[in-house]
């Protein structure tokens, strides 16, 4: 990693549902999945949307038959954030170890993941997969330590049925992952600002334009304009817009990114394959 503490790669950037359409090829159509690779080469995965399938294939190629140990941190259990898990190839090999984590979202983690692969929804039962699996829910204010002095801290987000964001810290480098969040409730807005302070990279929900949000209040998502506000108030270095609406094709996304950059210059609209090393 050429001396970097953390390397970030986006495997899925879309919200709500995959959009495999030709007009979305620049930004991508897979749902939420982000890889954080540590200096010790540990793979930390944020969300298990449809982008997880391609990440799993890459991990198998990289491992060349050696065991894979990875951690998957889920923000919540809506379909677009877990639909890639049944297609995560490393989970089907006995030499591998997959650790699942979630914040306090009100549902037992293992039970929920088993549910999406139970009859009649999937042909293979979750209990039949070969890899070793662990499940842990992290209380708000808690912390998980990964290899190489990496700390992952969950915090609550305003979203229907609950969701968690994550602040990832490593020797002064900070990445904040705050997707599936709706602004407007001061308690949650203040929590997001607190956990986003001085982030090197802030990945923030920006599903709607301000005009679209007026007809989508209560749906659990925010605007690029609010993401800019959070980045500015939190003194973040780099804002990455995330969880793109299914109706926003490449042209729409380029307009959104351009508008956001007018207000916060160091803004990127996430696309599949985008890599940042910190």
Nearest C-alpha neighbor of 276 from the set 179, 183, 168, 180: 168
pLDDT in the model for residue 147: 84
pLDDT reading at 76 higher than 70: yes
pLDDT of 3 higher than 90:
no
* Residue 20 burial (CB count, 10 A): 11
- For residue 110, being part of any structural domain is answered with yes
Please determine, for residue 105, whether its predicted confidence score (pLDDT) is greater than 80: no
Whether residue 1 lies inside any domain: the answer is no
**What's the mean per-residue pLDDT of the chain?**
96
Q: pLDDT at position 11, please?
A: 98
The distance of Cα 161 from the centroid of its chain, to the nearest Å, equals 17
Domain contains 35: yes
Q: Is 200 inside any structural domain?
A: yes
Tell me, what's the pLDDT at 2?
Answer: 66
pLDDT at 141: 85
Average pLDDT on 157-176 reads 96
Q: How far is CA 159 from CA 76, 188, 225, in A?
A: 9, 10, 18
pLDDT value at 88 more than 90: yes
- Examine the pLDDT at 25 and tell me if it is beyond 70: yes
Host domain of residue 135: 6-277
Does the residue 249 lie in any domain? yes
Task: Kindly state the average pLDDT of the residues 146-172.
Answer: 94
DSSP output for the chain: -TT-SEEEEEEE-B-SS----GGGTTT--PBSEEEEEETT--EEEE--STTHHHHHHHHHHHHTTS--EEEEEES---GGGTTTGGG-GGGGSTT-EEEEEE---SS-HHHHHHHHTSTTT-SS-GGG--SEEEEEEPPTT--EEETTTEEEEEEEE--TT-EEEEEEEETTEEEEEE-S-----HHHHHHHHHHHTT-SEEEEE--B-HHHHTT-TTSS--BHHHHHHHHHHTT-SEEEEESB-TT--HHHHHHHHHHHHHHSSSEEE--TT-EEE-
Is the Cα torsion angle 207, 211, 216, 220 positive or negative in sign?
A: positive
Number of domains in the chain: 1
Count CA atoms within 13 Å of residue 111 on its CB side: 5
Banded model confidence at residue 154, pLDDT cuts 50, 70, 90: very high
Residue identified by tokens 């982008």 is 51
The pLDDT, as a whole number, for residue 1 is: 60
CATH of the domain at 50: 3.60.15.10
Q: Is residue 248 part of a domain?
A: yes
Side-chain-side CA neighbours of 193 within 13 Å: the count stands at: 15
């Amino acid at each position: 990693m050429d001396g970097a503490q953390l390397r970030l790669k986006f495997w899925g950037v879309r919200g709500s549902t995959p959009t495999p359409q030709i007009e979305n090829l620049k930004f991508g159509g897979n749902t939420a999945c982000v890889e954080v690779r540590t200096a010790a080469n540990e793979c930390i995965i944020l969300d298990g949307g449809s982008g997880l399938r391609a990440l799993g294939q890459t991990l198998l190629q990289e491992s060349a038959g050696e065991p894979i140990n990875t951690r998957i941190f889920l923000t919540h259990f809506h379909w677009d954030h877990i639909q890639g898990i049944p297609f995560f190839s490393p989970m089907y090999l006995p030499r591998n170890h997959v650790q699942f984590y979630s914040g306090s979202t009100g549902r037992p983690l293992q039970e929920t993941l088993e549910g999406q692969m139970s009859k009649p929804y999937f042909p293979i039962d979750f209990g039949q997969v070969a890899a070793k699996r662990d499940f842990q829910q992290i209380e708000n204010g808690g912390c998980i330590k990964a290899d190489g002095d990496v700390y992952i801290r969950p915090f609550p987000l305003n979203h229907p049925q609950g969701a968690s964001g994550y602040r990832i810290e490593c020797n002064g480098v900070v990445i904040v992952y705050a997707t599936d969040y709706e602004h407007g409730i001061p308690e949650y807005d203040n929590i997001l600002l607190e956990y986003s302070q001085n982030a090197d990279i802030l990945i923030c929900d920006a599903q709607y334009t301000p005009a679209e949000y007026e007809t989508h209040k209560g749906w659990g998502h925010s605007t690029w304009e609010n993401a800019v506000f959070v980045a500015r108030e939190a003194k973040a270095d780099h804002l990455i817009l995330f969880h793109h609406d299914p109706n926003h094709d490449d042209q729409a996304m380029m307009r959104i990114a351009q508008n956001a950059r007018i207000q916060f210059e160091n803004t990127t609209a996430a696309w599949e394959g985008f890599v940042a090393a910190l």
